[in-house]
């Protein structure tokens, strides 16, 4: 197959590549920051932007925060089950530290006005919750 015959691969643009409008960021930043910050004291504030769905930026970070909470529930369940064997005593705090680090990184993204997924689990949030859009 020659160079001309090769089908042109469409350029893959990830959903995070396009920077959101600055107005959107300005309006949604407070809710995005609060979603992460209040998660540290176990308040599910991310539900507010998730239900309101009036701002792309805050909705994006609310979805990331929801993913962190879901991972937290999974770590809690697995860690509690592993408490039966000796290793759960170490694994449960280690998992919680991991989620805390993710929340801090998400908080930093929100403060900087970046629409970036949190490491490791963020891309799953983009995939799973892509149906939840701004109304």
| Binding-site ranges for another protein (CB under 8 A) | 83-87, 89-90, 93-94, 97-98, 101-102, 105, 119-120
- Tokens, residue 23: 């107005």
| β strands within the chain, DSSP E | none
Q: Is the Cβ of residue 49 or residue 117 nearer to another protein in the bound state? A: 117
Nearest Cα to 113, choosing from 53, 50, 26? 26
Minimal distance in Å, beta carbon 79 to another protein? Answer: 13
Provide the 8-state DSSP code for 61: H
Q: Is the Cβ of residue 51 or residue 84 nearer to another protein in the bound state? A: 84
Q: How far is 105 from 101, CA to CA, in rounded Å?
A: 6
Q: Is the Cβ of residue 50 or residue 102 nearer to another protein in the bound state? A: 102
Q: Is the Cβ of residue 94 or residue 111 nearer to another protein in the bound state? A: 94
End-to-end CA distance of the chain: 47
Minimal distance in Å, beta carbon 124 to another protein? Answer: 12
Minimal distance in Å, beta carbon 81 to another protein? Answer: 11
Minimal distance in Å, beta carbon 83 to another protein? Answer: 7
Contact yes or no for 101/121 (Cβ under 8 A): no
| β strands within 1-130, DSSP E | none
């Amino acid at each position: 197959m020659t160079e001309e015959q090769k089908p042109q691969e469409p350029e893959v643009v990830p959903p995070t590549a396009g920077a959101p409008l600055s107005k959107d960021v300005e309006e949604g930043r407070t809710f995005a920051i609060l979603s992460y910050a209040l998660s540290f004291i176990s308040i599910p504030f991310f539900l507010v932007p998730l239900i309101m769905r009036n701002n792309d930026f805050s909705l994006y970070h609310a979805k990331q925060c929801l993913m962190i909470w879901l991972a937290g529930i999974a770590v809690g369940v697995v860690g509690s089950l592993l408490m039966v064997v000796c290793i759960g005593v170490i694994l449960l705090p280690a998992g919680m530290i991991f989620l805390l680090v993710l929340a801090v990184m998400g908080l930093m993204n929100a403060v900087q006005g970046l629409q970036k997924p949190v490491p490791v689990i963020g891309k799953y949030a983009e995939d799973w919750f892509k149906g939840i859009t701004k109304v």
